[in-house]
């Protein structure tokens, strides 16, 4: 009986580890289509953000191409891609802008909508947003 219990435990653990392992090169970055997909997401989102009557004013004087490049690189790095974010510190960039929770979440909705519009799954959207969420504390009410 003791042997049977150990055998069942061994089989169960073996099954758990074999289904949890993914190929070494399988990550969210590759799954979504890499930097090209991220650039599309932020291109679409920024067009909407820059035209938004509530949050658009925060981006006056900031070229879309500049922000798109940095958002793409930052997100690429956060989700396991080969990019290295070389932009400014998030706190420094957002200090004195007094961005509210409402404004932050409007931006998030545009990014999420862009991800959906280009065909990412809800699971992929959520995984990306989960990686970006910790940045909120560096952006809001600075």
Q: What is the pLDDT of residues 42-55, one digit of tens each?
A: 999 999 999 999 99
Host domain of residue 47: 28-139
Determine, yes or no, domain membership for 1.
Answer: no
- Residues making up the binding site: 70, 94
Determine, yes or no, domain membership for 15.
Answer: no
**CATH number for the domain that contains residue 35:** 1.10.490.10
**Beta carbons within 8 Å of 96's beta carbon, 6+ residues apart:** 142
- Residues making up the binding site for heme: 70, 94
Determine, yes or no, domain membership for 18.
Answer: no
Three-class secondary structure of residue 33 per DSSP: coil
Determine, yes or no, domain membership for 71.
Answer: yes
C-alpha to C-alpha distance for 75 and 142, rounded to whole angstroms:
21
pLDDT in tens, 5-34: 333 333 333 333 333 333 334 599 999 999
Regarding pTM above 0.85, the answer is no
The total of structural domains in the chain comes to 1
Question: What are phi and psi for residue 87, nearest 5 degrees?
Answer: -80, -175
Determine, yes or no, domain membership for 134.
Answer: yes
Average pLDDT value for residue range 59-67:
96
């Amino acid at each position: 009986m003791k042997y049977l219990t150990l055998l069942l435990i061994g089989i169960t653990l073996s099954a758990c580890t074999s289904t949890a392992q993914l190929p070494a090169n399988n990550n969210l970055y590759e799954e979504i289509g890499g930097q090209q997909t991220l650039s599309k997401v932020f291109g679409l989102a920024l067009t909407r953000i820059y035209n938004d009557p509530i949050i658009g004013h925060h981006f006056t004087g900031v070229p879309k191409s500049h922000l798109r490049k940095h958002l793409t690189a930052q997100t690429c790095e956060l989700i396991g891609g080969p990019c290295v974010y070389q932009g400014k510190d998030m706190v420094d960039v957002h200090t004195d802008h007094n961005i509210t929770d409402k404004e932050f979440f409007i931006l998030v909705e545009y990014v999420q909508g862009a991800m959906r519009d280009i065909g990412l799954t809800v699971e992929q959207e959520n995984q990306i947003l989960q990686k970006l969420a910790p940045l909120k504390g560096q952006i809001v009410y600075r």
